[in-house]
Structure 1
């Protein structure tokens, strides 16, 4: 009886999918859970910003200029007397929006190119990959600056520029996964049964290439937020008086000696949000690593 119970348990373990095992490992990963908590906090702040922020983030009051953190202004005020705490809260909305939209653009374009390139191969694969290699030969921020010089400054143009910059990463990762998946028995069986290419790519190849895409997406959002802040710091992203963290850093750099809180707190906000995405991304990477599923 005990032997039969052991065999049943063993079959149950083997029948579990990679997704089930990975999610269970994810729940046991304390650093990943910490990252999820950080992201939930920022998401709540962004959603309920009008209820949380004590002041209008754009309201100027020169009488309150350069006030240090106090009970009235928790994180102090800037050179225009605007409440930094309120601006950081509203800035969470903008930073999350930039991260998700920029990565969504690169996700759609990059995954599509990777799927087509990896599945069909040949001259099409060669053409797509050489273009991706050309884009990867430029540093990310330099390529973003080139695109911004064409599109012009602005927060939405920054999203497009960052989205284009990250396309090669997705294309190469997805292509690599497709080259492995398309040789599997279930793909060959679908081809033998006469399934069309679109059905095979979407139902069999894409769905079984999701793990690296999820990992890359989570990590890319954090990097996109940093790059967007960098563009705003250079004056190419969000324009004044938009309460964007990178723009707030740029405005506060001239007052680091007399009013360091103007630049310090937006920098801390960027670091915490990016840390949250990185912790979750690392958790997904560990959870989906097949070498750990024994």
Structure 2
């Protein structure tokens, strides 16, 4: 029997244990999740964490503004005008009409975020579609889409915004569409460059070989693989939208009073800069902190969602 055993195994290596495909898939997915958590922790920093907490607090205050224990942002009480910070019933003071600054700040945040989110959504949809079509189809599609982008970029953003708002009148809807149009070229060029890199990849060619239509390949295969830079760009557009809306409201071409707006609060309080500087400093500080917070959020998403940056740091 021993001789037979040696004869059967003579010159043969022992077999390696094989892992079933399903188990290997689970192991690979667990490793990917572990790497993702590692990149998440590596991308976090104390300053970025503070920025995230600030953004979440502003979002909660915006959503729950109607249920917060604050006065109406348009309620006037001339007898209580120009109250200082910390006055009885006025945590952040009152303006020249006796309106609560804290209330106007909270409801002004809702206005800012509605305009910024709406403009960002319009910019992403318009810009991404133009970039996808121009980069994937090329030729005449590329000429039409990219030249349209160049035409928009030929105008200074603030001048074009002033022109459109002057023609159609100020308001939330007007601001959303004009700002979305102004920020769309950034997404169009970003998506266009990414599509040129991705469309020659093997998985895109395989999708077409297996019978998928060009439209299905474009939106089901190409778009998910170019989405990361678009997501990273989104917080930066939110920051730019807040800045542009505040500037237009400061000039009287943004949100229509009495709807509260941070930019209009700055313009309204500048006449009292010497006697009540908080009327200007508080909304200006909120504008600056919001822009900084969304900028830090964009940096965080870039470091977290781009594995190549994490790999470069390891070398």
Which TM-score applies when normalising by structure 2?
0.85
Partner of residue 224 from structure 1, selected from 241, 245, 263 = 241
Q: Over aligned residue pairs, what C-alpha RMSD do you find?
A: 2.2
How much does 1:21 deviate? 4.1
Q: Does residue 36 in structure 1 map to residue 46 in structure 2?
A: no
Deviation at 1:286, TM superposition (A): 1.8
Pairing 1:129–2:143 present: no
Q: Distance in 1 between matches of 2:125 and 2:272?
A: 41
Partners in 2 of 1:57 and 1:185 — Cα distance? 57
Report if the CA contact (8 A) 2:63-2:110 is conserved: yes
| 8 Å CA contact 2:303, 2:310 repeated in 1 | no
Asked whether 1:109 is paired with 2:151, we answer no
Residue 168 of structure 1 deviates from its aligned partner by 0.5
Contact 2:123 2:180 in 1 (8 A): yes
Work out which of the residue numbers 256, 261, 281 in structure 2 matches 1:239. 256
**Where does 1:79-90 land on structure 2 (aligned, <5 Å)?**
79-90=96-107
Q: Does 1:196 align with 2:213?
A: yes
Give 1:292 shift. 2.1
**Structure 2 partner of 1:258:** 275
CA distances 1:196-215 after superposition (whole Å, capped 9, x unpaired)? 01110111100001100001
Number of the residue aligned with 1:26: 40
Instruction: Select which of 79, 103, 126 maps to 1:63.
Output: 79
How far residue 49 of structure 1 moved from its aligned partner, in angstroms, is: 1.2
Q: Distance in 2 between matches of 1:261 and 1:13?
A: 56
Q: In the comparison of the two structures, how many residue pairs are matched?
A: 286
Aligned to 2:7: none
Q: Which has the larger radius of gyration?
A: 2
Range 283-292 or range 67-76, more displaced: 283-292
The one of 273, 279, 288 aligned to 2:296: 279
Match of 2:184 among 167, 178, 193: 167
Q: For 1:77, which of 69, 74, 94 is the aligned residue?
A: 94
The answer to whether 1:269 aligns with 2:286 is yes
What secondary structure, in the 3-state scheme, does the structure 2 residue paired with 1:293 have? Answer: helix
Using the TM superposition, give the Cα deviation of residue 130 of structure 1 relative to its aligned residue in structure 2, in angstroms. Answer: 1.5
Compute the displacement of 1:15 (Å).
8.5
CA distance in 1, matches of 2:37, 2:182: 30
Give the whole-Å Cα distance in 1 for the aligned partners of 2:262 and 2:274: 19
Distance in 1, Cα, partners of 2:30 & 2:135: 29
Normalised by the length of structure 1, the TM-score is: 0.90
Q: Which residue in the other structure is 2:168 paired with?
A: 151
Instruction: Pick which of 222-231 and 151-160 moved more.
Output: 151-160
- 1:54 is displaced (CA, Å) by 2.2
Q: Which runs of 5+ in 1 are unaligned?
A: none
What is the deviation of 1:34? Answer: 2.5
| SS class of match (1:82) | coil
Q: Mark the runs of 5 or more structure 2 residues left unpaired by the alignment.
A: 1-16, 18-23
Q: Encode CA deviations 1:241-287: one digit per residue, 9 max, x unaligned.
A: 11111111111112111211111111111122222211110111122
Equivalent position SS for 1:240 = coil
The answer to whether the Cα contact below 8 Å between 1:158 and 1:236 also exists between their aligned partners in 2 is no
